[in-house]
Structures are given as C-alpha cells and as structure tokens.
Amino acid sequence: MRIGFAGLGAIGTPMAARCAAVHQLAVWNRTAERATEFAKATPGSRQAISPRDLAEGADAIITCLPTSAQVEALLEGPDGLLAGMTQGSILVDCTSGDAATSRRIAERLATLGIAFVDAPLSGGPPLAIQGKLTVMCGGSPADVERATQVVAPFAAKVVRMGPVGAGHAMKAANNALLAANILTLAEALVTLAKAGIAPRDAVDVLNASSGRSFVSEVLIPDRVLSGTWPRLFRMALLEKDIGIFHDLAGEVGVADPVLGFSREQCRALRAALGESADYLDPIRVAEQAAGVELRG
C-alpha cells in the first residue's frame, strides 16, 4: 500500500519504520527536521513537505499525534490532509484522543467518501519496535477490517471495540488504570522500604501475589529498581488520558471517585514537575518525600 504517516514521536517513529519495511511510505512531522532525518535513515520512505503532500496518492493515512485536536487541525486548508486525500481512502488515527473529536472527524470525512477509524495503541516504544502493539479500534466492521491491514506491520493484536470513539474510550480507561497503578505502587513500595523491607523482595512477592500489575511486573523492575529511568512517555500525556476517561465517565453518568482522585493527583504532579516529566516520575517524588530509594 501507499501509506502516509504523520507524527514521528517516541512511538510513531518505530511504527513508521515498520511500515516502511512493508509499504511505500511518506512521512510528515510538525518538526520537519525529524521527518528529514527519518527519510534519510529509512529505505522505502520519503519526506512529505505538507499534510497535503503526505495524503496525495495515499491509500491510507496514519496519524499518531498528542491530541485529537491536533489531528483535526491537519485536515483543513489548502495544505491540509483533505486537500490531498481521495475518495475511498482511509484515515487510521493512532492518537490517544477523545471520542467526541473523532466522531466529528469521521462525520466530516464521510461526506467525502473517506473512511475513519480511531486506533489508539498500547505497548509503548519497546513493543512498537518489535511490531507487537495492541490496537483498540473504533469504527464500522468493514472499516476496522481495512485498518487492520494498515496497522499490521506494528500490531500483534487488533480488536474492534465498537463504533467510532470506542477505541479512544478503551485507551482512556487503560491509561487511567495505569496512572492509578503507578500512584498506588509508589505509596506502597516507599512505605515498605521505610519499614525496612528490601524493594526487590517486596516487588518479587507482589508479583507472585494478587497485588501484581504490569507496573510491578515490568516497569518497576526494568526502570526503577535498576535505576535506569528511561524517559519513554510524558506525564503530561498520561494526565491528558486520565482526564479523557474522567470526562467520559461524566458523559455516561458514572461516578469515578477513585480514578477521579487519581486524576487530581496526576494534575497536581504535572503542574509541579512540568511538561517534560516522565510518567514514572511520581515514584521519584514518593521516594524523595519518604527519604528512601527503590533500588536493588
């Protein structure tokens, strides 16, 4: 296929590289230098000079941006995606976005005979590199089937969650739970360390018990106990996602006191730590407040 890929961030770059190994790929990024470097380093790819150039002649467009608002902003204008996209093509949006904006985008594209699927991801850059991401799709069965072929180079699991917006809802719930796990494990582990329990022993027992989670099984051993702290996902984006979940809960009339509190904690941490903070930095904050380090 001829694919246009917009958004060469931490996860978008390995996704695009896997697409380039299979398809004819054009790339565009808001910071043009990143697209220039990618095209030079990646056989089978070229740099597009505008969203319109990205879309011209493409069978499918993949967007992977921080917010749905940024995806919507790429559509219009003489150099926008819609100036280049053709009837019968498809836009697969891998942004961790919001359902309301995606429904609006889908309606706009439908008038032009262009399909739309929201297709947010789970797995992060490490699984993107391996082509093992989980993709949560919202769209018609036929459109999701088409999108499955588009995302195949970087996806191990593709699930249709429901109509347009359902993928974003699922991703928001996933990341709300991720945030709550980070916050609660930070509190639990620094408490145990302060009580004299070795962090490695505490994590080993948790991971053989009912309190385990992806955070305790993978993130804390690989990044916290090791002291490596790689910066792979911004706290600001996690806070944005848990905010989307909170808004969704209000939309459907469900109380979310626990995750709502987690959202307030994330908002406070984002304000205190700044926009460049990593999503595991709340554990650093807990360490500093308790005067312990979780290493071992």
pLDDT digits (tens, 9 = 90+) for 107-136: 999 999 999 999 999 999 999 999 999 999
Stated pTM of the model = 0.95
In sequence order, which residues have a C-beta less than 8 Å from that of residue 210 and are 6 or more positions away? none
- Average pLDDT over every residue of 219-239: 96
Q: What is the pLDDT of residue 98?
A: 96
pLDDT band with cut points at 50, 70 and 90 for residue 59 = very high
The total domain count for the chain is 2
CATH number at residue 131: 3.40.50.720
Which residues pair with residue 190 across a beta bridge? none
Same domain, 238 and 280: yes
183 and 155 share a domain? no
Catalytic residue among 40, 132, 157, 171: 171
62 with 127, same domain: the answer is: yes
Regarding whether 116 and 74 lie in a shared domain, the answer is yes
- For residues 212 and 148, membership in a common domain is answered with no
State which of 139, 163, 187 marks the end of a domain.
163
**Range 90-111 burial, b when 16+ CB lie within 10 A, else e:** bbbbbbbbbbebbbebbeebee
Lookup: tokens for 31: 């910071």
| 108 within domain boundaries | yes
> Average pLDDT, stretch 209-233?
96
136, 163, 190: which is the final residue of a domain?
Answer: 163
Instruction: Answer whether residue 36 is part of any domain.
Output: yes
pLDDT digits (tens, 9 = 90+) for 62-114: 999 999 999 999 999 999 999 999 999 999 999 999 999 999 999 999 999 99
- Residue that is last in its domain, among 142, 163, 184: 163
Same-domain pairing of 20 and 76 = yes
**Within-domain flag for 139:** yes
Cβ atoms of residues 81 and 52 within 8 Å:
yes
Residues 143 and 266 in one domain: no
Domain match, 202 and 131 both: no
Strands 90-93 and 133-138: what pairing? unpaired
Residue 253 lies in a domain: yes
In a domain, 176, yes or no: yes
Reported as a single tens digit per residue, the pLDDT across 141-174 is 999 999 999 999 999 999 999 999 999 999 999 9
Full residue range of the structural domain in which residue 202 is found: 169-290
171 included as an active-site residue: yes
- Tell whether 174 and 158 lie within a shared domain: no
Q: 182 phi and psi, to 5 degrees?
A: -60, -45
Same domain, 30 and 159: yes
Pair (140, 204) in one structural domain: no
Chain segment 4-54, per-residue pLDDT in tens: 999 999 999 999 999 999 999 999 999 999 999 999 999 999 999 999 999
Same domain for 178 and 145, yes or no, is: no
In a domain, 89, yes or no: yes
Give the angle subtended at the CA of 119 by the CAs of 55 and 18, to the nearest 5°.
Answer: 65
Residue with tokens 């093509």: 89
Residue 245 domain flag: yes
